[in-house]
Structure 1
Amino acid sequence: MKKRTYQQNCYLAQAGDFLGERWTLLIFRELLIQPCRFKELNTYLAGMGTNLLSQRLKELEQCDMVAKLNPEDKRSAYRLTEKGRELEGVILELIRWGAGALPLEKEGRHFHHWDLLAMKALFSPRHCRAGITIQFACEELTAWVATEQLGGAFALNFAIGMAEDADIELAMTIADFQQQALAGKYHHDARLNAFIACFNP
């Protein structure tokens, strides 16, 4: 099938041709969170179909945006290359814009690890005063987030799995934590209050 294109000699149009392909941004979302095997991507991108997913991954490999962790293994997980990771800032800005300008489709499918990338997008370094590592550990999500000072400014990082040394462990999802924070459940906890303040606009 011939690809649709704007057919305009313009950097914005060319970027739109590339990123505007259906599902492409969501492949980047998954790989910004963690390397994924084909089967995992197929699960998280339900509705895409295996043929289209395979085609998109091949195209991204050809553009040096995506590579396999182990090129010798056909079942190897996919990861973003250095060139692919250059899109992180663009995608975080899109998440920030979407969070502020568009209502969320509450009926849509949701995997809890997506909230890790949303936290990174909505993190406000100027409101951060100290480093902290929080472990989320429940059936739906096992992952940690950490604020740390890098070159004078704070940044937020995350990973799937268990942290080596977490300051606080929460047996809930990020979505549950957000609901409890909005309900004022953590007023008594100075460390969690300071962490919550990092997401003030």
Structure 2
Amino acid sequence: MDKVNHKSKRSRTYGQFCALARTLDIVGERWTLLIVRELLPGPMRYTELKSSLEGIATNLLAERLRSLEANGIVERRLADGSVAYALTPWGEGLREPMEALGRWGAPLLATGRGDDAFQPRWLTLALPALLRGATASPPIELGIETDGFAMVLRIDEEGPSAFARPDDLPETVLIAAPDVIVGLAAGAMSIEDAVVASEFRGDSNALRAAFAARR
């Protein structure tokens, strides 16, 4: 990793010789970590980021992206002839602390979604965070569909991971509302209740194994 001179990249700083303070110097401003969250599943174009981050002003998104690029967290890549934003290897390292923050904040979801915006791709970060510690051998793969988004939850000897793979889902697929999936992963809903509230196809043992693995 290249050494980052955070003072030269940002005009505002806590001015503290502390790793946490210097981290917050570059990712602590509003919307910054949410941009990182969007890019964890994979690169996105500017228009895709703007659409997914409902409420962010165009000029603010551009400013945050410039800052993330200047600090070596985000880079530009060509994708199908157009520019997309992607995390650098150093930026990818934010996955673990962001998963920890997601686990810490999981109780805040107990009041339900309400009128809050939601993007199904956010579950690719949330599910591994909520299922941390789960392992399986042989590996378990479960397809999950919610709000038109298809993803795969995989649990193996190294732990849980989730990724978009809409064209190659496993035989076992759970089709459910986002709050059902989050409730199931957080342990707030039983597997039996989740199945009743959802559409399910395939082997129920795979579903049980996936969400019982962390217990």
TM superposition shift of 1:27: 0.6
Q: Which residue of 2 aligns with 1:193?
A: 208
One-letter amino acid matched to 1:194: A
TM superposition shift of 1:173: 4.5
Which string of whole-angstrom CA distances, capped at 9 and with x for unpartnered residues, describes residues 104-151 of structure 1?
6623211122122110111233554541222224652122221223xx
Aligned-pair Cα RMSD in Å: 3.0
Contact 1:135 1:166 in 2 (8 A): yes
How many Å separate the matches in 2 of 1:43 and 1:37?
A: 10
Normalised by the size of structure 2, how large is the TM-score?
0.76
Q: What SS does the aligned partner of 2:160 have?
A: strand
Q: Which residue of 2 aligns with 1:160?
A: 164
Alignment of 1:92 with 2:94, yes or no, is no
One-letter amino acid matched to 1:133: E
One-letter amino acid matched to 1:91: M
One-letter amino acid matched to 2:102: I
How many Å separate the matches in 2 of 1:194 and 1:72?
A: 39
Contact 1:34 1:159 in 2 (8 A): no
Normalised by the size of structure 1, how large is the TM-score?
0.81
Q: Which residue of 1 aligns with 2:200?
A: none
How many Å separate the matches in 2 of 1:131 and 1:80?
A: 27
Structure 1 residues without counterparts, runs of 5 or longer: none
Q: What SS does the aligned partner of 1:76 have?
A: strand
How many Å separate the matches in 2 of 1:128 and 1:135?
A: 16
TM superposition shift of 1:53: 0.6
Identity of aligned residues (%): 29
How many Å separate the matches in 2 of 1:139 and 1:72?
A: 26
Q: What SS does the aligned partner of 1:48 have?
A: coil
Contact 1:132 1:167 in 2 (8 A): no
How many Å separate the matches in 2 of 1:30 and 1:130?
A: 30
Which string of whole-angstrom CA distances, capped at 9 and with x for unpartnered residues, describes residues 52-110 of structure 1?
1111111111112111221995x322111101111111111111111147756623211
Alignment of 1:35 with 2:29, yes or no, is no
Q: What SS does the aligned partner of 2:119 have?
A: coil
Closer/same/farther in 2, CA of residues 121 and 99 from structure 1, 3 Å limit: same
Alignment of 1:83 with 2:90, yes or no, is yes
How many Å separate the matches in 2 of 1:86 and 1:194?
A: 29
Q: Which residue of 2 aligns with 1:53?
A: 61
Residue correspondences, number: 194
